[in-house]
Structure 1
């Protein structure tokens, strides 16, 4: 599928049949919709496919989707704007709702969207994510300084120095595996969609700005006020070997989400790939209860 938004176009895939209620899946930072292939396979094998369709998409600058125009710094709120546009494109009737699923960055964006537009969400599924990131207000100046310097450095480089070619996909996959610790098969699934083959070499098609620091991050007080007390039924799933800091947020999560189910299963930060069967069982029980 192509999702033609007013400001750019996004690449997407539908699993199941058009016309069914939608589960919209939002992938994580530097990933793409391929990260949901294992989960989509389990979805199609389950009875969820009889009742719902699963739609995955590439965020701007990821996978096969358009890049944001210009040379300005990126910000996570941009993704909330994208998500609002996607939801309203897929379901233009404001009286209809969607099931929203997000992993990592996708979960951060999904939780913020739910806080702002709860009337559009029937159920929320967060995988290794809870809320927008926050930091002490005293770090604002240093963050702004660092971000602008990084962007200035990037766009003052010759184009040939910004994009580096690789002789094989294996080189890219190995580098990502060493950086993230993910299984080789998952690194390959994600990396291949983020690459393009030109004149005998593989190049990243991802927006290089994705790796630079954001110019701004909210304080805890701002995030706390945004999240408030959500009435949306929410399933939060963490991996036993996932991000440790998320395991310390259960008390805060129960304050922000009044109807929260907290689950931990085998897997790491990408548990939706390595333990897709276990995750789909939790999702099925949550949605069809």
Structure 2
């Protein structure tokens, strides 16, 4: 159980207001946690509980944000397609707001790890240490896919715009929505419950997703491997990379790439699935704690 101060806060950025949760005291050095796609800040609750048991909050605060369109954060205005690189701009704005010009520890899971690694590649001087969970670098694909990806994305956006006139899908109870996410993703029910509750809102007497529906649309473009390689080469930030034994291999790439992109990286594979920071929180927290305090 948590034995630490927990505070719901708002981060008013110049372009959008984000919601966040702070564990610990605001005057402590920051561990900034970035969640994955369609998750939210509450995906870090199990890790926060494990950090608390370790006494990590005597030294640090854990600041977990909701990305735009996720959790309790605002959605991006308008109806234009979303682009993954915009999250890097969001992250820069958050760091400028909260860091007090001091390097922070940056921790990201999945999409959060992708954004963390890309930001560190460009502005590593703002990062004291980097923790990547089930993500090593931005996704890439062959340049041959450029036309088909853009065409698919535009047609998908066209269909999406027509659907906006339809009523918002609702659920009779939170349990129905929780089980729907469980069936769709296979994520364990306790973790579906944590994430789903923060991603839902009441519409009349029923529940609807609070998440921006545009999040489910495909990206209009993706980097080639040559672009990713040029971006990632080379960081000297002290880095911990944690992969899951049953995780997403396309997000974690290989030891060869990691050693080419990071001059000082520790790589571990731990028991668990893609959300191992929830299902195997104690071991993940022990690993991160040892890395941070070293």
TM-score, scaled to structure 1: 0.96
* C-alpha distance after superposition, 1:144-191 (max 9, x if no partner): 111111112111224334x20111112211121112111111011101
Alignment check: 8 A CA contact 1:115 1:227 kept: yes
Rounded Cα–Cα distance in structure 2 between residues aligned with 1:102 and 1:56: 10
Rounded Cα–Cα distance in structure 2 between residues aligned with 1:217 and 1:33: 26
* C-alpha distance after superposition, 1:216-265 (max 9, x if no partner): 10100000000001100100001111113456511111111110100111
Give the match's secondary structure for 1:145: helix
Structure 2: which 5+ residue stretches go unaligned? 1-8
Number of corresponding residues: 286
Give the match's secondary structure for 1:235: strand
Give the match for residue 80 of structure 1.
88
Give the match for residue 51 of structure 1.
59
Alpha-carbon distance change, 219 to 263 in structure 1, aligned in 2, over 3 angstroms: same
Structure-to-structure mapping, 1:95-110, within 5 angstroms = 96-110=102-116
Rounded Cα–Cα distance in structure 1 between residues aligned with 2:189 and 2:217: 25
Match for 1:22 among 26, 30, 53? 30
Confirm whether residue 157 of structure 1 aligns to residue 130 of structure 2: no
Give the match for residue 176 of structure 1.
181
Give the match for residue 121 of structure 1.
127
Alignment check: 8 A CA contact 2:232 2:261 kept: yes
Rounded Cα–Cα distance in structure 1 between residues aligned with 2:221 and 2:160: 18
Alpha-carbon distance change, 158 to 219 in structure 1, aligned in 2, over 3 angstroms: closer
Give the match's secondary structure for 2:163: coil
Give the match for residue 271 of structure 1.
276
* C-alpha distance after superposition, 1:249-282 (max 9, x if no partner): 1111111111010011111100010011101100
Alpha-carbon distance change, 32 to 209 in structure 1, aligned in 2, over 3 angstroms: same
Give the match's secondary structure for 2:80: coil
Give the match's secondary structure for 1:156: helix
Structure 1: which 5+ residue stretches go unaligned? none
4+ residue runs of structure 1 moved beyond 4 angstroms?
none
Rounded Cα–Cα distance in structure 2 between residues aligned with 1:47 and 1:197: 37
Rounded Cα–Cα distance in structure 2 between residues aligned with 1:62 and 1:158: 19
- Superposition CA RMSD, Å: 1.1
Rounded Cα–Cα distance in structure 1 between residues aligned with 2:98 and 2:149: 36
Alignment check: 8 A CA contact 1:25 1:55 kept: yes
Confirm whether residue 139 of structure 1 aligns to residue 145 of structure 2: yes
Alignment check: 8 A CA contact 1:48 1:284 kept: yes
Give the match's secondary structure for 2:31: strand
* C-alpha distance after superposition, 1:181-219 (max 9, x if no partner): 111110111011111012111101110100001111010
Alignment check: 8 A CA contact 1:16 1:44 kept: no
TM-score, scaled to structure 2: 0.95
